[in-house]
Amino acid sequence: MRVRALFVPICLVFPLTLFPLALFGAEKTDRFLAVDRERVQIMLQVVASDVQKYYFDAKLRGVDWNAKVAQARVKIAQAPSYDTALLEIAALFETLKDSHTSFDPPSDLFPQDYGWQFQMIGTHCYVTQVRPKSDADAKGLKPGDEILSLDGFTPARDSLNKMEYVLNVLLPQSRLQVEFRDLSAKIHKVDIVAKVRQKRAMTDLQEMTGRDAWEVRLEAEDERRLSRPQIKELNPTLMIVKLPVFYLSEIAADEMIGKARKHSSLILDLRGNPGGRETCLQDLLSGVFDRDVKIADRVTRNSKTAMAVKHKRQAPFTGQLIVLVDNRSASAAELFARVVQLEKRGTVLGDRSSGSVMESSFYNHKVGLNPMYHYAVSVSEADLIMTDGQSLERLGVTPDEIVLPVAADLASGRDPVLARAAEIAGATLSPEQAAKLFPYQWPRQ
């Protein structure tokens, strides 16, 4: 099944040699059965074919794809474990160095909840959230602590997404050795144990019953909960919208813009927003412009077409617009912010965005019968060239004003970025008050 989106998958961007398997304790002693090896070879053949057929650049950025696929096939044949074999497919995709072209392997039957969140802010990696009563909480990890290393790897702005791909998708870990510096500048080394929840192997999504079907339903409901926009109408002057993802329907987008029109200023918080549907991006942009606007040129393998926004009959929001972004703002979120900049429609605040901007399609596949393994591939089918002639891929959006929280802000529960945006809008909102408007929501365990 093919699904097109402006959404950055958890992807692989930088060399796998930075992450030797032994670093994450991934060399397993379990037997690698011939039937499992054959399944991985089938996955390789299918996803490599998808890239060759659909990738936006017919020359695949100069990569000798057939030769790389042949090398991966040999390495899978020699791989000592199932994990190392899957890693070879991921390494193949890395050669394209493309944020939206990645391999999504079969889900782990033992998913991990590490119990804490971290993020690059400027050039430093900080703990941003710690789940109460988690092992991370018990080991003394706190928001504002600076992460110096994870299992020996030093996080950096240009490779953190790679590390998260390894930890969350390729090789989930039961424990992580964390070295961090607390607010007093004291350095600690702790082993943090992840919470592991066993899942059953699925035969087919359409055939699920009982507990398996209930689990999938709960996960879907939780996903919807976390993706809902949050709106705060502080006074007649200011409305603030926290948009976790670009998944609004046209009706919902119009309703949101209708509320915004009652206010003279709108702050759209896209921090942490990984993108989403192109239609949602267009609906929201049409809601803040009173004219047609070009987003970018969509450059595909065979054509170059304009991606544009048509002015709607419904009156748009014409007041002051402020957009917030950070290092986790990606894809459609970056496009929205950059269009606002280029068209001089508003002000962008925060940290430089992810630089993960392509148009991709997801291709879902399955292999095996009982159990059945579901896997997928995301393939970039278009590069997006903005009206200034540049692509945002690997570049990102540089805010008009850089505003970053420091360690003490994270530790004390302050949001100076949103507070500064409110100040620009002529409202009074302290960093402490700003942080309480949209408290972090943990996924269901």
Taking only the tens place, the pLDDT of each residue in 382-400 is 999 999 999 999 999 999 9
Give me the domain span that covers residue 410. 222-358+381-437
User: Count of domains in the chain?
Assistant: 2
Q: Verify that 395 and 259 share a domain, yes or no.
A: yes
Residue 444 lies in a domain: no
CB 281 within 8 A of CB 270: no
Q: Verify that 172 and 255 share a domain, yes or no.
A: no
Q: Verify that 398 and 432 share a domain, yes or no.
A: yes
Q: Verify that 118 and 236 share a domain, yes or no.
A: no
Cis amide linkage into residue 405, ω under 30° from 0: no
d(CA 227, CA 221): 10
Mean pLDDT of 117-126: 95
How confident is the model at residue 308, as a pLDDT? 95
Helices (H) and strands (E) in the chain, counts: 12, 20
For the whole model, what pTM was predicted? 0.88
How confident is the model at residue 220, as a pLDDT? 64
Strand partners, 120: 125
Residue 21 lies in a domain: no
Q: Verify that 397 and 311 share a domain, yes or no.
A: yes
How confident is the model at residue 217, as a pLDDT? 56
Lowest mean pLDDT among 27-31, 165-169, 411-415: 27-31
Residue 90 lies in a domain: no
Q: Verify that 242 and 167 share a domain, yes or no.
A: no
Higher pLDDT, 33 or 293: 293
Phi-psi region of 296 (alpha: psi -120 to 50; beta: other; left: phi over 0): beta
Q: Verify that 266 and 397 share a domain, yes or no.
A: yes
**pLDDT confidence bin for 39, thresholds 50/70/90:** very high
pLDDT of 33 > 50? The answer is yes
> Running DSSP on this structure, what letter comes out for residue 351?
S
Q: Verify that 261 and 394 share a domain, yes or no.
A: yes
The CATH number of the domain holding residue 226 is 3.90.226.10
Q: What is the CA radius of gyration of the chain?
A: 22
pLDDT of 204 > 80? The answer is no
Higher pLDDT, 167 or 248: 248
- 226 contacts: CB under 8 Å, gap ≥ 6: 244, 441, 443
Higher pLDDT, 202 or 358: 358
Of 12, 15, 273, 21, the C-alpha closest to 161 is 12
Q: Verify that 239 and 174 share a domain, yes or no.
A: no
Domain end position, chosen among 179, 196, 213: 196
* Single-letter code of the amino acid located at 120: M
How confident is the model at residue 73, as a pLDDT? 97
**pLDDT confidence bin for 7, thresholds 50/70/90:** low
Lookup: tokens for 180 = 């961090």
Average pLDDT value over all residues in the chain: 87
**pLDDT confidence bin for 8, thresholds 50/70/90:** low
pLDDT of 149 > 60? The answer is yes
H or E element in which residue 187 lies: strand 187-193
CB 410 within 8 A of CB 127: yes
How confident is the model at residue 313, as a pLDDT? 67
d(CA 163, CA 143): 20
How confident is the model at residue 172, as a pLDDT? 81
pLDDT of 128 > 90? The answer is yes
Residue 203 lies in a domain: no
Higher pLDDT, 253 or 314: 253
d(CA 42, CA 52): 15
